[in-house]
Amino acid sequence: MPEFNVTPYDVEGVVDYNKLTRQFGTEKITPELLNRIKKHCGDVHYMLKRGVFFSHRDMNWLLNEYEKGNKFFLYTGRGPSESVHIGHLVPWVFTKWLQDKFDVPLYFQLTDDEKFLFKEKLSLEQTSSHALENALDIIALGFKKKKTFIFRDTKASGTLYPQAIQFAKKITYSTIKGAFGLQDSANIGQIWYTSMQAVPAVLESIRKKHNVPCLIPLGIDQDPHFRVARDVYPKLGYHKPALIHNKFIPGLAGVQGKMSASSEESTIYLKDTPEEVANKIKRYAFSGGKASLAEHRKLGGDTSIDVSYQWLEMMFEPDDKKLLKIKQDYESGKMLTSELKEILINNINAFLKQHQKNREKAKKQLSSFLWEGEKLRKHIEGK
């Protein structure tokens, strides 16, 4: 039994990210790469600096192209099976930063088809309407209106399908079984699906009628899709998409696997009230503090296993100085777990308050961000 397992459809065990980069054959993000990014952006996003984004494929190539004047575009996506929780935000927050810094288009795929095919209980109507709900959370993060193209697969299929079959023709059944760990009992839609996820990586190239480099920020679990895509695209005359991978935010209950909606307690949703946030963190956030007050004061807390600290570091305390102070105080025993949790609760609630307001406003903006059907087709065909 391996100690951990990561595929797009299953994340189990305590992930060793060093081993995972070796298993997957990706490259680690080095200080040199961070410097290169800094040169273009003026600063480095805290998620990069802190190793939340830790691995990549072809970032150096992407920056070489950029330096030659060959701008890239961004692509990411969301499988709309449920309400958005905090773990989903990581790649999106970072993608927004990239879009701001490089001022580039973003294609955002909502895979209502995928979640229908992979979730026994969900109907297509459900995944499609979840997708629109999720789109509000995406828009609320502040992506650029004229440069962000959000679409649901089932409503964009007229544009995507001709590309998807080009791609599908180059992939064998055995490749898919191997890459995704699918069993013979898998429905055939699951075998086909990766062809749909591959398409947005070339949409801007099709639109511009020449190859445009593509950068995909994504959770490391999504890498297998693009490993396949990177094998196939050169055979179709396209560039391989570049990838930049993030780690998973741990669930409240501990560092195992990725945050999942299958256990309510381990998840904070973007729609949660301040009371719900406070209750869940107080009750469930795994603590690296000591059992007794005296012991804690003497020995201090362990930030490497403390979920509240991890959440601050990965997402909710962008300020390096404040984070360092928290780390020092907690590790020295000056700060108690209850105080640490209070900081996290305040930061999350401040974020959610703004987010929920933005999300209300997003309802009016939805139609200008959605590019489906004829609208997407005309955009891609340059009409």
Q: Which of residues 17-56 bind ligand TRP (CB under 6 A)?
A: none
Rounded least distance, CB 272 to ligand TRP, Å? 20
Position among 128, 222, 246, 266 found at the interface with ligand TRP (CB under 6 A):
222
Q: By CB under 6 A, how many residues form the interface with ligand TRP?
A: 12
Q: Which is nearer to ligand TRP, 29 or 74 (CB)?
A: 74
Q: How far is the CB of 14 from ligand TRP (least distance, A)?
A: 21
Q: Which is nearer to ligand TRP, 111 or 148 (CB)?
A: 111
d(CA 380, CA 383): 8
3-state secondary structure of 247: coil
Closest CB to ligand TRP among 7 and 347?
A: 7
Per the structure block, which two tokens stand in for 366? 């939805």
Distance of closest approach, residue 231 Cβ to ligand TRP, in angstroms: 17
> Of 58, 65, 113, 114, which lies in the binding site for ligand TRP, with binding defined by CB under 6 A?
114
x-or-dash string of contact with ligand TRP, 282-321, rule CB under 6 A: ----------------------------------------
The angle at the Cα of 72, spanning 235 to 205, to the nearest 5 degrees, equals 45
Residue 267 burial by CB count (10 A; 0-12/13-18/19+): exposed, middle or buried? buried
- Least Cβ distance, residue 243 to ligand TRP (angstroms): 9
Q: What is the smallest separation between the CB atom of 345 and ligand TRP, expressed in angstroms?
A: 27
Task: Say what the alpha-carbon torsion angle 299, 304, 310, 312 is, to the nearest 10 degrees.
Answer: 50
Closer CB to ligand TRP, residue 198 or residue 344?
A: 198
Indicate which single residue of 21, 26, 95, 111 sits in contact with ligand TRP (rule: CB under 6 A): 111
Of residues 23 and 190, the one with the C-beta less far from ligand TRP: 190
Q: Are strands 10-13 and 27-28 parallel, antiparallel or unpaired?
A: unpaired
The dihedral region occupied by 300, where left means phi > 0, alpha psi between -120 and 50, and beta the remainder, is left
Closest among 81, 61, 135 to 358, alpha carbons compared: 135
Render 17-85 in DSSP notation, one character per residue.
HHHHHHHHT-EEPPHHHHHHHHHHHSS--HHHHTTSEEEEESHHHHHHHHHTT---EEEEEE--SS--B
**How near is the Cβ of 30 to ligand TRP at its closest, in Å?**
23
CB of 216 to ligand TRP, least distance (A): 5
Q: How far apart are CA 56 and CA 323, in angstroms?
A: 26
Cα–Cα distance list, 249 to 87, 294, 307 (Å)? 5, 31, 9
Q: Least distance (Å) from ligand TRP to the CB of residue 162?
A: 18
Pairing of strands 27-28, 53-57: antiparallel
Contact stretch for ligand TRP (CB under 6 A) within 20-28, 215-223, 251-259, 281-289: 215-223
Stretch that binds ligand TRP, among 30-38, 214-222, 265-273, 357-365 (CB under 6 A): 214-222
Q: CB within 8 A of 114, min separation 6: which ones?
A: 79, 153, 193, 196, 197
Binding mask 65-84 for ligand TRP (x = CB under 6 A): -----------xxxx-----
* Contacting residues toward ligand TRP, per CB under 6 A: 8, 76-79, 109, 111, 114, 197, 216, 218, 222
